[in-house]
Amino acid sequence: MPSNINVKICGVTRAQDIDASVKAGARYIGLNFFPKSPRFTTLEQARDLALGTAEGICKVGLVVNPTNPELDALTATVPLDMIQLHGSETPERVAEVKQRYGLPVMKAVGVATADDLLVLDSYAPVADQLLVDTKPPKDAKLPGGNGLAFDWTLIAGRRWNVPWMLAGGLNAGTVAEAIRVTGARQVDLSSAVESAPGVKDAGLIQAFCNAALAD
């Protein structure tokens, strides 16, 4: 029987990484448009990657506090299925992006303490999905993909009125426990399946998906 867990492999930069992700059972792939990230792809690179992705795989574009002109260029060039807002965008901005571009929007929210759950709750009415991630350290250069986990018990039993995805420091050795503790049905990772920053490893992708999909 197929697993009811959805896996997202984020920050793919090569066609073979997408192929490996799909072969392993991932249902989402993430293209990163944050220039400071080692997983950054140009619009032209991302367009080629998206066009080469198997049908039925959700292509997600990760952006951080994007302007409308930036999103205009992105959506005009890359055939995306979803926009992932991974910055300090407000709920109002999430709603604006949804209306302007006609694409589902996933809003990433960093969690470190119980207070952060109130922030998550504020996005649930406007986002199509939530990405529950680890809040980056104050000196972090990246808003995500730092390979750090948060206290999963903070969201144990928590549910929202939209689908949500768990991220932050997951790997093949921890994902089963993370799913058990949080009840997550969707999981996302990037750095833990890399042999070098921005370079995915097919074996690590397969091992992670095996562990996640064993549910």
Q: Which residues belong to the active site?
A: 10, 133
* CB contact at 8 A, 43 and 15: no
* CB contact at 8 A, 111 and 136: no
Task: Give the largest Cα separation in the chain, rounded.
Answer: 44
CA dihedral 47, 190, 155, 84 (to 10 degrees): -20
* CB contact at 8 A, 106 and 165: yes
| CA 172 centroid distance within chain | 17
* Nearest alpha carbon to residue 94 among 57, 63, 50: 63
